[in-house]
A = this chain, B = another copy of it.
Amino acid sequence: MALEQEIKQEKFASEHQKAAINILFTGSWLHTSNAVFLKKYEITPEQFNVLRILRGQHPKALMLADITCRMIDKSSNATRLVEKLRQKGMVKREICENNRRQVDISITDKGISLLKKIDADGPAWMETLKNISKAEAQELNRILDKLRGS
């Protein structure tokens, strides 16, 4: 549905302002839909994101700062996110012996197999996005990257 109907606003100050609101609205919409999807696996979108980041480096470990800078939402606290995942046995935490300030985090087998289960549901999940073509997805990516600028 067009943004105008979604938030019942007939007109916007400019196409640029409408775009800003559209990004915020669509982002919130996507986030909510992800949270609903992930609920049955008992993890939040932020925790899922951290797991995927760790799988990307597996079996290497990452330190906390590396996780933070890869996160979609930089504002959530990586220490606490990782601690939640550790309590569930999805990640391992080890103080680095070469540099004892730093903590090495890696994904466990349990974490990997959870991601595998979620991946198996992936196609159903991705259906949401299939309203646009691949070319449109590319164009969307190009414009969003340009928007955020240098």
The total of chain A residues at the interface (CB under 8 A) is 55
Chain B contacts for A32, CB-based, 8 A: 74-75
- Nearest Cβ on chain B to A61's Cβ, whole angstroms: 15
Chain B contacts for A137, CB-based, 8 A: 14-16, 18-19
How many Å lie between the Cα of A28 and that of B143 in the bound state? 16
A99 at the interface (CB under 8 A from B): no
How many Å lie between the Cα of A7 and that of B68 in the bound state? 9
A81 at the interface (CB under 8 A from B): no
How many Å lie between the Cα of A28 and that of B148 in the bound state? 11
Chain B contacts for A17, CB-based, 8 A: 126, 129
Chain B contacts for A126, CB-based, 8 A: 14, 16-17
- Nearest Cβ on chain B to A125's Cβ, whole angstroms: 9
A73 at the interface (CB under 8 A from B): yes
Interface residues of A in 4-61 (CB under 8 A from B): 6-9, 14-32, 56
